[in-house]
Amino acid sequence: MVKSLPALVLFIGIGIIIPCIYYFIFRKRTLLDKIPAWIWAINGFIAFVLFPVFLFRKHWEAAMVMAKNKFWFVAGVAQMDNNFWETLAKLLAILVFIYFARPDGKEVFKQKSGSTIYGYWLGLCYGIGEAITLSIIGYFPILNRIFGINLFMYFTTWVAIWERAYAIQIHAIIGALVGIGFYHWFGLQKRWWLLFFFFVGMLYHELVDGSVLAMMYYPRLVLAKFMGNHVLTITLPVLLVIGYLLLFVAYRASKNVLNSQEMKLENEKEII
Question: With the C-alpha atoms ordered 93, 95, 97, 99, is the resulting torsion angle positive or negative?
Answer: negative
Q: How far is CA 30 from the centre of its chain?
A: 22
**Dist CA 141 CA 159 (whole Å):** 20
Q: How many contiguous H segments (helices) and E segments (strands) does the chain have? A: 13, 0
Q: Residues near 251 by Cβ (< 8 Å), separated by ≥ 6? A: 112, 116, 180
Angle at 59 between CA 88 and CA 140, to 5 degrees: 100
* Relative orientation angle of helices 236-271 and 192-217, to the nearest 10 degrees: 170
So where are the chain's domains? 5-271
Low-confidence residues in the chain, pLDDT < 50: 1-2, 256-263, 265-270, 272
Cβ atoms of 175 and 90 closer than 8 Å: yes
For the stretch 87-101, pLDDT in tens is 999 999 999 999 988
- 10 Å CB burial of residue 187 (0-12, 13-18, 19+) is buried
pLDDT at 263: 45
pLDDT at 155: 66
Question: With the C-alpha atoms ordered 83, 86, 88, 91, is the resulting torsion angle positive or negative?
Answer: negative
pLDDT at 7: 80
Kindly report whether the global pTM for this prediction surpasses the value 0.75. Answer: yes
For the stretch 112-146, pLDDT in tens is 999 999 999 999 999 999 999 998 888 888 888 88
